[in-house]
Structure 1
Amino acid sequence: MSRTPTQTLKEQLAVSIRMMEQANHIDFNGHMSTRVPETDFILINSAPASRSTITADDVIMIDLQGNVIEGDGRPPNELLIHTEIYKRRKDIQTIAHTHPRWSTLFTIAKIPLRPVVIQGAVLGEIPVFPKSQSISEQEIADELAEKLAGHHIILLKAHGAVVTGASIVETFVRSVFLEENAYRQYMASQMAYAHSLGDEDIQMTKSVIWRPNNLQKVWDYHYSKL
């Protein structure tokens, strides 16, 4: 029996979450969602599902009010991160709420995260949301979604990150590049000042790195490690 497009998306989302867990972007918490094309529904991991062993059966379908349309389980407590961003940003197809080790350090130390390696060149400006509590109340979710406007990544103070993209692959790779850049900036700062890439380097590098074949290469590398 052939897989439906929705089933394929569920499987890809589950794979991405497992890779996120293995790469230490998420742990026992964290969640990821993607739009169901040509609908107002989204796919998201069920809250109780283990992030290290999640399968397509652990992915549920909900509407933008958080009602479960299909599948067993309940959405994560911070589902408002997803629904409020999707309502405002038609360009975003996938959202991940991560708890990355390295980039979160910068919000704790109140040090700006800057593009210091070529992967960082594609990240753009990264705002920091100043509230560190769970994003599970409407008012806070609205503030977060508004602060994300015009960006694809926002760091949450002493909490984690929200990473978005036009696809599951793009969002996963953006999360990888975020952590790689943060790790390199932190390590360089232990030696001396971590210098940023120049504007010319950023513009030249962005056009080369952010290509579908390069994004797929990053995905395939992490997939091979599962």
Structure 2
Amino acid sequence: MLYQKERNQLADVVKKMFDRYETNTAGGNVSVRMNEEHIIMTPTLMSQEHHCNLSPYQILVVDMDENIIEGDGRITREINMHMACYKQNEEIGCVLHGHALHSLVFATMGMDMPNLIEATQKLGKIKCLDYAPATSPELADKVKNHLESNDSQTVTNAILLNKHGVVITDKNLTKAYDIMGRLEYNAYIAEKVLLFDQLGISPIDKKEHQFNLEE
């Protein structure tokens, strides 16, 4: 089996995503760049049909022309978004897309997410893109254009997809999934902080802080 260790790891991560409400039966997909020739990627309907309980062989090995080299399943239509990220920045090693429960509050409202907790400060502004239909070339283009923008030249990115979910990029799967966890905690906290602010219980802390951004 090609890339057995990495496919085992990816199958484990997507199961955790489903169990932790970081995606749902409506979809989600994750890919990891192996080298210049191949990525590994979750198959279409991984959530609806399998509840993200995948065997390593269901993790597809796909070439850069989107041909399946190995694996049991079909390619998701959202591969266009993944490939747009990889082609835009050669240092991106993982693209993680999910329908994360708390982050979807802000995505559904079309709101940028307030970046409030220390653990997410390295993300900078957590922007919600303008709406484009799921799996569409327009959505892939919006993600690509955001990555190309002046304020988003880093490998680590967390982007809200309007009415849809989140997409995260990073150097590898471990780092990308770390960002997903941080983002969801920030979203949960931000929901409460905004309510407390609007109810007059306590205003949002707008003081400047010297955060430690080193890993």
Residue 92 of structure 1 aligns with which residue? 92
TM-score (normalised: structure 2): 0.85
Whole-Å Cα distance in 2 between the matches of residues 88 and 34 of structure 1? 15
> Counterpart of 2:74?
74
* Separation in structure 2 between the aligned mates of residue 68 and residue 153 of structure 1, nearest angstrom: 28
Shift of 1:53: 1.1
Which digits, 9 at most, give the CA deviation of each residue in 1:89-129, with x for residues without a partner?
A: 11110011111121121133344312211222232222222
Give me the whole-angstrom Cα distance separating, in 1, the residues matched to 2:44 and 2:11: 13
The answer on 1:195 being equivalent to 2:204 is yes
| 1:213 alignment partner in structure 2 | none
Q: Structure 1 counterpart of 2:120, which letter?
A: G
- 1:75 Cα deviation from its structure 2 partner: 1.1
What is the rounded CA distance, in whole Å, between the counterparts of 1:118 and 1:30 in structure 2?
Answer: 27
Shift of 1:133: 1.2
The whole-number CA distance in structure 2 between the counterparts of 1:90 and 1:56 is 25
1:173 aligns with one of 171, 175, 178 = 178
| 8 A Cα contact 1:165 1:171, kept in partner | yes
Equivalent residue, structure 2, for 1:142: 141
1:13 and 2:25 are equivalent in the alignment: no
SS at match of 2:210: helix
- Runs of 4+ aligned structure 1 residues displaced above 6 Å come to none
Query: Unpaired runs of 5+ in structure 2?
Result: none
Percent pairwise identity: 23
Please give the alpha-carbon distance, in whole angstroms, between the structure 2 residues aligned to 1:110 and 1:176: 21
Equivalents in 2 of 1:17, 1:196: separation in Å? 35
Q: In structure 1, how many angstroms separate the alpha carbons of the residues matched to 2:207 and 2:123?
A: 14
Kept in 2, the 8 Å contact 1:156–1:162? The answer is: yes
Map 1:111-126 onto structure 2 (within 5 A): 111-126=111-126
- For residue 171 of structure 1, report the CA deviation from its aligned partner: 0.3
Q: Is the 8 A contact 2:169 2:176 kept in 1?
A: yes
**Residue equivalent to 2:24:** 27
Seen in structure 2, the aligned counterparts of structure 1 residues 31 and 51 have a Cα distance that, compared at 3 Å, is farther
The answer (yes or no) to whether the contact 2:32–2:40 under 8 Å persists in 1 is yes
The structure richer in helix per residue is 1
8 Å CA contact 1:25–1:99 kept in 2: the answer is yes
Change (3 A) 1:177 1:115: same
Pair 1:46 & 2:43 matched:
yes
In the TM superposition, what whole-angstrom CA distance separates every residue of 1:159-206 from its partner, at most 9, and x where no partner exists?
A: 10111111111000101111100100101222225635754333x2x2
Native 8 Å contact 1:20 1:26 kept in 2: yes
- TM-score relative to the length of structure 1: 0.81
In the alignment, the residues of structure 2 paired with residue 113 and residue 101 of structure 1 have an alpha-carbon distance, to the nearest angstrom, of 13
- Asked if 1 retains the 8 angstrom alpha-carbon contact of 2:161 and 2:167, the reply is yes
Q: CA deviation at 1:41?
A: 1.1
* Partner residue of 2:166 out of 158, 161, 166: 161
